[in-house]
């Protein structure tokens, strides 16, 4: 459902936030608040513009709370059309105040995480490496570029952090400079990447957009969609793990501790 054109179009009336809970204790606490103290690796909820008031119940996905027939474990999930209709009924009560080129730009907790997520989502990553002062100067360019109809939602974006990303270039081949815009293709498990294009921080909006679109066209021709089960099996055979900052697992009873059982105990590590 999430990849259908109809749902994508409907979602643009919302500020869509994806919390990376296993990399941030603060994000984990947001999920716990939505789930009344519990913690799950997947949850969905629609909030009012104040960012606090819940307009829907919380659940694993939109289909179980938007357009669903009945409530509780036995409720019949809503169809894509019913979900979109329910979303439209919510947006009818609110009027957007900001312009598309005033969007909040995406930024990950670390380059390591950005590369891993880009690999999982099979998107190119635009990484911005610059001094703190120069990073601020890129904001106007990036807001305009990422608001474009042919670019929005098609790439991941990450800003280099002096605290966590000093060694980013060691994970990326073909990076010919220490600063600039780097369009990076992650390897299948998000541990390494290749800079398939790079531009100076002085590049204008048109040049950056053209580079992103050209890189994405080549990426689409060469990248094949991952088959989840096969990908997981290969990761297990190669003993590939991604160590997060927060222990893996869920707290279904809400006691503040990750449940430990046969399904969740993985020695603090997560398989790719």
CA 241 vs CA 56, 112, 147, 165, 236: distances in Å: 35, 13, 35, 20, 8
Terminal-to-terminal C-alpha distance of the chain = 23
Q: Of 91, 120, 148, which residue sits at a domain end?
A: 91
Tell me, yes or no, whether 9 and 117 share the same domain.
no
Asked if residue 232 belongs to a domain, the reply is no
Together in a domain, 152 and 204: yes
What local confidence, expressed as pLDDT, does residue 74 receive? 57
Tell whether 126 and 65 lie within a shared domain.
no
Let me know if residue 243 belongs to a domain. Answer: no
What is the CATH number for 183?
3.40.30.10
78 with 106, same domain: the answer is: no
Residue 152 confidence (pLDDT) above 80: yes
Per-residue pLDDT for 126 more than 50? yes
Instruction: Give the mean model confidence (pLDDT) for residues 82-98.
Output: 90
Q: Which of 255, 159, 145 is nearest to 206 (CA)?
A: 145
Q: Give the pLDDT confidence of 193-224 residue by residue, as tens digits.
A: 999 999 999 999 999 999 999 999 999 998 98
Predicted pLDDT of residue 26: 87
User: Given its phi and psi angles, is residue 97 left (phi above 0), alpha (psi -120 to 50 degrees) or beta?
Assistant: alpha
**Which of 91, 110, 132 is where one domain is finished?**
91
Residues 6+ apart with CB under 8 A from 240: 189, 191, 271, 272
Q: Kindly state the DSSP code that residue 63 receives in the 8-state scheme.
A: G
The string over 38-55, giving b where at least 16 C-beta atoms fall within 10 Å of a residue's C-beta and e elsewhere, is bbbeebbbbeeeeeeeee
Phi first, then psi: what are they for 179, rounded to 5°?
-140, 160
Candidate ranges 97-111, 149-163, 199-213; pick with highest mean pLDDT? 199-213
Cβ count within 10 A of residue 108: 24
pLDDT value of position 270:
44
Quote the mean pLDDT of the chain.
87
Residue 176 corresponds to which tokens in the numbers above? 């010919």
User: Which domain covers residue 82, as residue numbers?
Assistant: 5-91
- State whether residue 172 is helix, strand or coil: strand
Q: For residue 173, which phi and psi values (nearest 5 degrees)?
A: -90, 155
Residue at a domain's end among 66, 91, 116: 91
């Amino acid at each position: 459902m999430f990849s259908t054109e109809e749902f994508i179009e409907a979602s643009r009336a919302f500020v869509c936030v994806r919390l990376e809970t296993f990399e941030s204790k603060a994000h984990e606490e947001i999920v716990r608040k939505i789930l009344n103290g519990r913690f799950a690796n997947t949850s969905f909820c629609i909030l009012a513009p104040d960012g606090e008031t819940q307009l829907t119940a919380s659940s694993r996905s939109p289909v179980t709370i938007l357009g669903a027939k009945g409530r509780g474990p036995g409720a019949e999930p809503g169809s894509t059309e019913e979900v979109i209709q329910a979303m439209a009924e919510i947006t009818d009560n609110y009027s957007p105040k900001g312009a598309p080129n005033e969007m909040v730009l995406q930024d990950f907790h670390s380059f390591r995480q950005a590369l891993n997520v880009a690999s999982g989502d099979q998107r190119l990553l635009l990484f911005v490496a610059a001094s703190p002062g120069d990073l601020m100067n890129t904001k106007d360019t990036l807001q305009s570029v990422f608001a474009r109809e042919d670019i929005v939602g098609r790439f991941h974006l990450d800003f280099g952090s002096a605290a966590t990303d000093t060694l980013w270039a060691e994970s990326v081949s073909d990076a010919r400079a220490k600063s600039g815009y780097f369009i990076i293709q992650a390897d299948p498990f998000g541990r390494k990447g290749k800079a398939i294009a790079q531009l100076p921080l002085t590049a204008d909006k048109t040049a950056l957009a053209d580079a992103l679109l050209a890189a994405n066209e080549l990426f689409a021709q060469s990248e094949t969609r991952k088959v989840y089960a096969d990908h997981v099996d290969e990761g297990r055979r190669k003993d590939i793990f991604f160590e997060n900052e927060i222990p893996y697992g869920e707290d279904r009873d809400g006691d503040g501790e990750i449940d430990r059982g046969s399904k969740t105990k993985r020695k603090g590590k997560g398989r790719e």
